Chain A
Amino acid sequence: MEPLHSLLIRQLKRHIASFPAVPPEWQCFVDDVDKAYRQFDKDRTMLERSLDLSSQELLHAHSEMKVVFERLIKSSMDGIIAFDRDCRFTVWNPGMERITGIRAEEATGKNGSEIFQSLKDADEVRFLYEALQGKTVVAKDRAYVMRGSDRQGFLEGYYSPMFNEAGAIIGGLAIIRDVTERKQWEERLRHSVNYDPLTDLPNRNLFTDRLMQALARAPWNKRRIGVLLLDLNRFKVINDTLGHGVGDLLLKEVAARLVTCVRKGDTVAHFGGDKFAILLEELAQADDIPKVLQKILTFSSEAFMIEGHELFVTPSIGVSIYPNDGRDVESLLKYSNTALLRAKEQGGPYQFYLPTMNVKASQRLALESGLRHALERQEFLLHYQPKVGLKTGRIVGMEALVRWRHPEKGIVSPAEFIPLAEETGMIIPIGEWVLRTACAQTKAWQAEGMVPILIAVNLSARQLQTQNLVEMVTQALSDTGLAPRYLELELTESVLMQNLEATSLLLDKLHGMGVEIAIDDFGTGYSSLAYLKRFPISSLKIDRSFVRDLTMDSDDQAIVKAVITLARSLKRKVVAEGVETEEQLKILQSLDCDEMQGYYFSKSVPAEEAGRLLKNEMNRPKPPGW
């Protein structure tokens, strides 16, 4: 038999004198108590064992989790911190060290205010305490200066409380991310949306925005707003001849100079290409604008030195003003553009917008679209104006003049459509058509047995710039069978003096073929006498403005006389244009001018009538006055 439970033995010894003998009536009771004691011991042992085992299991699970947890925290690029209820840091990971420049050894155990006050960051401390009050705080894009450096950065932080199982706050944690790089990218992106990458000036987008804001303020402060649209004359030539590199550098220089022309609050924008815009805000007086214009014109008169090139660029400027011309972004920009086009048309440096321009602009637009179809619809025709020898009174040549028979407007004057054709480039095909038609007509007259004459065809500046002008002329002559010596090409003085080197080469080639060259409108532009001598020019045409006042103005007479003398000495022919009266004729004859053109003899006439004139020429007596 098993001995009794040791505790029971001690108790029985103490209380029963006869022990180990137990009174028989107690025996069952003693056995039950012994059983109960043993059962308790067993149960307790087993429970202790199970609790011990489960505590080992939990410890193991805990340490495994701790390893993962610590690795995660250590390897995070983000700053991770945890703090207790007194806001003392318990976790301060390497990410946080990188962001703040504060080591974990310094931070752990210290209070949030102690640490962050050294960084003068009161917000951070506030967020920590808010988390300890149960709030979750998300703080985005906070400016921040790292300790021990001046580097300005941006942080994004997420602060939240930590609860125990009972739901009580036991501390908090924060995840803090350095978003400086992302902010910089965003800034760059934002900048690129609003700024021109070449000049770093505001672009059209930002300009429009600022104009809109200025317009919103304007009714309150009762000030005017000026919108200046500006482009550079001949910029394309610079770009084409010196390359885009030089062109870009020039634009940067122009941008820099433009900025110096305006007040601090004004906006100079670059719309791309050679187009700039200026927003002048809060103008007290309208004459503030001319002041700015004057500054711009002054700077543009100085040369730009770009990679050893001395470049001169002149701007054309269109101006519209709020509230006079328009009250919204769209109209102000549209009208300044209209004014700019007008300025370019007139060759003037600037133009203020006028309501009439608008009418003109829309007319011009209609004309332009009509012009594009005029060739294919065969709406062009040629008129001819005879040139007459002053000594003989005989027709020696004809000038071919293009006319446009518009289906609705009737005959459109060349003065109206030629500049437009020049601007749009339509002059190239039109010019070729004129040349071919004139050559073919002349050949036809010759074939009819009429007196051979010289046919004069005008060349525009744009035609002169084409690469294949010589080929085009050669082709036209060979296609029509007209001998080159019957063709005379007329160029205006100003066209001739542009791009002297290239023009000289071109004229030499044409002259070499046997084609004659005449200078049109002589006396209205600037001619270099040296070039006049060098160019293979056969005749000078004195501009009609000198001829008109020949009878009244002795100055004009002197000029005409000088031109004729000059031509004589250079062995060039002289033709007087616009002769309308007998008086004018007499004077020209007395001055020993070679030929004349004008109403006095004949206006420009259709080909049929010109043909009749030529036919009559064979058996016509000398006209009166000769």
Chain B
Amino acid sequence: MKIEQNRWTEQKGWEPGPPGRLGPSAQLVFLFDSMNLIKNGTQYDFVRKTFPNAHLLGCSTAGEICGTQVSDDSLVVTAIEFEHTRISGTRIKIGDARDSFKAGERLAQSLDKKGLVHAFVLSDGLKINGSELVHGLTKNLPPEVSITGGLSGDGERFQETFVLWDGPAERETIAIVGFYGDRLKIGYGSLGGWDPFGPERKITRSEGNVLYELDRKSALDLYKNYLGEHARGLPATGLLFPLSLRTHQAEAGVVRTILSINEQDKSMVFAGDMPQGSYARLMKANFDRLIDGSIGAAKTSREALGASPADLALLISCVGRKLVLKQRIEEEVEGVRDVLGRKTILTGFYSYGEISPFTPKAKCELHNQTMTITTFSER
């Protein structure tokens, strides 16, 4: 596997220099961008021309990962030439979040299952019910095919998100790419590191991923009360207090974050299902536990590959972590690199949701507030 990685910023232009080393031999190029550069224009055209034979896959973000650096307002381009692996992909449009399950089904059905090892998904980050999307995917893919991916971001604005597949990035889009070949090894892992606190609250009113009431009181009012002066920053500041969701007594909780709020009916839209009758607890961050979470996800991902190091690691981390860690955000990427080693190229982005099983053998789920890592290696 050959990889070429370049970053473009307004101040510095291309670093370390303009891309092009792999040129026509590149098969897949990841583009992560928080400057709307991939929608159209010079940089997009340049990349397209530089890698004429490659499939382009990318999305808008809340921050890009390039090596151990986390930057805003940049475009990170990672081109890959596989030795033994074939790829194939597609994109679809989604008009309504209620169609999420169907979208997942359609995407899964579009892939040729023969020799399929792994599916990687990038989705619109706002007009989607991520849980339903994952459900639609897993139901229509063979159980041995692993699935990872993420929801695209829009900084801390939560306005509009974009996804691209072999063309300029568009809104309300979901793209999938399938990896084929028996010499490709995939590893994955996902961890949060948030701590629940305060009383457990029952979800007394909700519809799909829209939450109205906890313990028969307005959920939005509860959030405003806890956020205090930060309430003005909603919905982004809602990421400071994600919810730990427990559907059944013994089940390990999943983490849910806010996508948007509605002042009219005092509702909050979450990135995944908020089933009525389940229990939720507010969560809070602890710097060290967040960084430990990333390291844990890296370890799980790496163990799946065995002795040899990964060639490439795709890091999809939640925007909520970036909000909390701020200046210390690179510590979590550094932690990942310490586990994976210097030979592994790191790329990825800060997202509005992560898609992955927690551990190998576990069910693929939508997560929030986690660091989710997919590692690739060819043998």
Contacts and interface: CB of A to CB of B under 8 A. Distances in A.
A39 B198 contact: no
A32 B198 contact: no
Given A57-B198, A58-B198, A61-B199, A50 B326 contact: no
Contacts of B225: 53
Contacts of B279: none
B19 to A, nearest CB: 30
Contact of A50 (B284, B324, B327): B284
Contacts of B228: 46, 49
Interface string A31-47: 01001100100010011
A590 B226 CA distance: 141
B197 interface: yes
B364 interface: no
A71 B238 CA distance: 39
Contacts of A49: 226, 228
Contacts of A54: 197-199, 282
A22 interface: no
B231 to A, nearest CB: 11
Specify which of A32, A46, A53, A61 lies most central, judged by the most chain B CB atoms within 10 Å of its CB.
A46
A50 B282 contact: yes
Interface in B184-208: 197-199
B241 interface: yes
A50 to B, nearest CB: 5
B329 to A, nearest CB: 12
A47 B284 contact: yes
Contacts of A50: 197-198, 226, 241, 282, 284
B52 to A, nearest CB: 42
Contacts of B227: 46
B95 to A, nearest CB: 38
A51 interface: yes
Contacts, number: 32
A43 B324 contact: yes
Contacts of B284: 47, 50
B340 interface: no
B199 A57 contact: yes
B240 interface: yes
Contacts of B226: 49-50, 53
A39 B198 CA distance: 23
A50 B197 CA distance: 9
Contacts of B241: 50
A58 B201 CA distance: 11
A32 B327 contact: yes
A5 to B, nearest CB: 14
B197 A36 contact: no
B327 A36 contact: yes
Contacts of A35: 327
B286 to A, nearest CB: 9
Contacts of A47: 284
Interface string B260-290: 0000000000000000000000101000000
B323 to A, nearest CB: 10
A385 to B, nearest CB: 103
Interface residues of B, number: 15
A58 B228 CA distance: 19
A51 B198 CA distance: 7
Contacts of B324: 43
Nearest to A54: B198
B230 interface: yes
A58 B198 CA distance: 7
A597 B240 CA distance: 133
A58 B327 contact: no
A469 to B, nearest CB: 89
Contacts of B282: 50, 54
Interface string B223-255: 001111010000000001100000000000000
B240 A46 contact: yes
B327 A46 contact: no
A585 to B, nearest CB: 116
Interface string A456-489: 0000000000000000000000000000000000
A235 B296 CA distance: 100
A43 B226 CA distance: 12
Nearest to A51: B197
Nearest to A50: B226
B199 A58 contact: yes
Interface string A9-41: 000000000000000000000001001100100
A531 to B, nearest CB: 98
Nearest to A45: B228
A150 B225 CA distance: 62
A58 B326 CA distance: 31
A43 B237 CA distance: 12
A43 B324 CA distance: 8
A61 B282 CA distance: 16
Contacts of A61: 199
A296 to B, nearest CB: 75
Nearest to A33: B327
A46 B198 contact: no
Given A51-B197, A54-B198, A39 B327 contact: yes
Nearest to B228: A49
Interface string B214-230: 00000000000111101
Nearest to A42: B230
A49 B198 CA distance: 12
B156 to A, nearest CB: 15
Contacts of B197: 50-51, 54
Interface string B159-198: 0000000000000000000000000000000000000011
Nearest to B229: A46
A105 to B, nearest CB: 34
Interface string A60-98: 010000000000000000000000000000000000000
Specify which of A51, A57, A61 lies most central, judged by the most chain B CB atoms within 10 Å of its CB.
A57
Nearest to B226: A50
A61 B241 CA distance: 21
A571 B296 CA distance: 138
A35 B328 CA distance: 11
Interface in A519-572: none
A68 to B, nearest CB: 16
A61 B226 CA distance: 17
A54 to B, nearest CB: 3
Contacts of A58: 198-199
A365 to B, nearest CB: 74
Contacts of A57: 198-199
Interface string B311-322: 000000000000
A524 B132 CA distance: 115
A511 to B, nearest CB: 101
Contacts of A43: 324
A155 B284 CA distance: 51
Nearest to B227: A46
A178 B221 CA distance: 50
A225 B225 CA distance: 91
A504 B226 CA distance: 112
B2 to A, nearest CB: 37
Given A51-B197, A54-B282, A61-B199, A39 B326 contact: yes
A48 to B, nearest CB: 11
A36 B329 CA distance: 12
B199 A46 contact: no
Contacts of A53: 198, 225-226
Nearest to B328: A36
A50 B226 CA distance: 5
Nearest to A60: B199
B35 to A, nearest CB: 23
Given A50-B197, A50-B241, A58-B199, 6 more contacts: A46-B228, A50-B226, A51-B197, A54-B197, A54-B198, A54-B282
6 contacts: A36-B327, A46-B230, A47-B284, A50-B241, A53-B198, A58-B198
Q: List 9 tightest A-B contacts by C-beta distance, closest first.
A: A54-B198, A50-B226, A39-B326, A58-B199, A57-B199, A36-B327, A49-B228, A53-B226, A54-B197
